[in-house]
Amino acid sequence: MGRLASYRMLLFSIAAVAGWLILWAWLTRDGGPVPALYFPPPEDVLNRFWRMWTRPYIGSTLWEHILSSLYIVLSGWSAAALVGVPLGIAMAWWSKLKWIVFPIFQIIRPVPPLAWIPLTILWLGIGDVARMSVVFIAALVPWLMNSMLAVYSVDKLLIDAGRSLGASDRQILTRIVCRTALPTLVAAARMALGNAWSTLVAAEILAATAGLGYVAVNASQLLDTDVLIVAMIMIGILGIALTALIETSQRILAPWSLPNERRG
């Protein structure tokens, strides 16, 4: 029954997308209410997409721009995970460490990633490392905060049971806490990836030579509206694909955390 409902929702979503495309085509038709300069018709966007896929645009083809953006985003996101997850778990497990690190983190946390761009340029220049650093900052907060929450959400009865059976603190942390906290860590991965991907355009303002954000900024300056729409659509599609990848990993790593209808 759950699978049938999923198929129905998929068909409904496809029909909704088709409806929006029809509305888009009608609004932007010749003589329609929306001029092509402000919002080009679907066929213009599709033609531009194909040309960008097969021919270089500002130095690279569309798929090369996509690979560049994925490289920046996934590198910054992964680096944030390597720092944020162990640090968040350690801060939740050892209160002394928390009170050493957390005050500084609380001061830094409200600062938006965009505010770090001038310092990033000053410290790291305008290369890939600078863009990865902006993405790293955007992804670090959800990784660290949700890692702490994951440890705090573990049932204390499980910890007490482990201690009563003679488990050491290290065994409790690795075999009980980390495994029980896995669903929350998967949610942290999804939130961190969303933050990282949404920071893409800002990261690629840093004198990039390729990437979807770079394409979008360049197209907006040149009033290439069809190119801008292509870049925006690709950013949205890839964001959906990355989120779906995280959800698939959740089904594999922590299937018990999913609702019954989403399992299997």
The DSSP string of 201-240 is HHHTTTT-SSSHHHHHHHHHHHT-HHHHHHHHHHHHHHHH
User: What pLDDT score does 103 carry?
Assistant: 80
**pLDDT above 90 for 75:** yes
Residue 263 above 60 pLDDT? Answer: no
Mean pLDDT of 220-238: 89
Q: Which pLDDT score, from 0 to 100, does residue 62 have? A: 92
Listed as own residue / partner, the contacts of 29-32 with beta carbons closer than 8 Å and 24 or more positions apart are: none
Give the confidence band of 259 by pLDDT, cuts at 50, 70, 90: low
- Two tokens at 174? 């690795």
Q: What is the pLDDT of residues 4-51, one digit of tens each?
A: 667 788 788 888 888 988 998 888 888 778 787 788 888 888 999 999
Number of domains in the chain: 1
Band of pLDDT at residue 254, cut at 50, 70 and 90: low
CATH number at residue 71: 1.10.3720.10
Tokens in use for 231?
């870049």
Mean predicted lDDT score pLDDT of the chain: 82
Task: Quote the pLDDT of residue 256.
Answer: 57
Check: pTM over 0.85? Answer yes or no.
Answer: no
Whether 29 is covered by a domain: the verdict is no
**Is 27 part of a structural domain of the chain?**
no
pLDDT for 255: 63
Q: How confident is the model at residue 64 (pLDDT cuts 50, 70, 90)?
A: very high
Residue 129 has pLDDT above 70, yes or no: yes
- 16 lies in some domain: no
User: Which pLDDT band, with edges at 50, 70 and 90, does 264 fall under?
Assistant: very low
Is residue 261 very low, low, confident or very high in pLDDT (cuts 50, 70, 90)?
A: very low
pLDDT score at 121: 80
Tokens of residue 175, six digits:
């075999």
| pLDDT reported for residue 1 | 46
Please report whether residue 4 resides in a domain.
no
Instruction: Quick: pLDDT tens for 159-217.
Output: 767 777 776 767 776 667 767 777 778 878 888 888 888 888 778 877 678 888 889 88
- The answer to whether the CB of 61 falls within 8 A of the CB of 51 is no
- Is 12 a member of any domain? no
Is 36 or 135 the better-scoring residue by pLDDT?
135
User: Regarding predicted confidence, which is higher, 70 or 256?
Assistant: 70
Percent of the chain with pLDDT over 90: 15
Angle between helices 128-152 and 62-93 (to 10 degrees): 40
Task: Say yes or no to pLDDT of 156 above 80.
Answer: no
Residue 89 belongs to what domain range?
40-262
Cα–Cα distance, 250 to 186 (Å, whole number): 6
Residue 90 lies in a domain: yes
**Integer Cα distance of 209 and 127 in angstroms:** 9
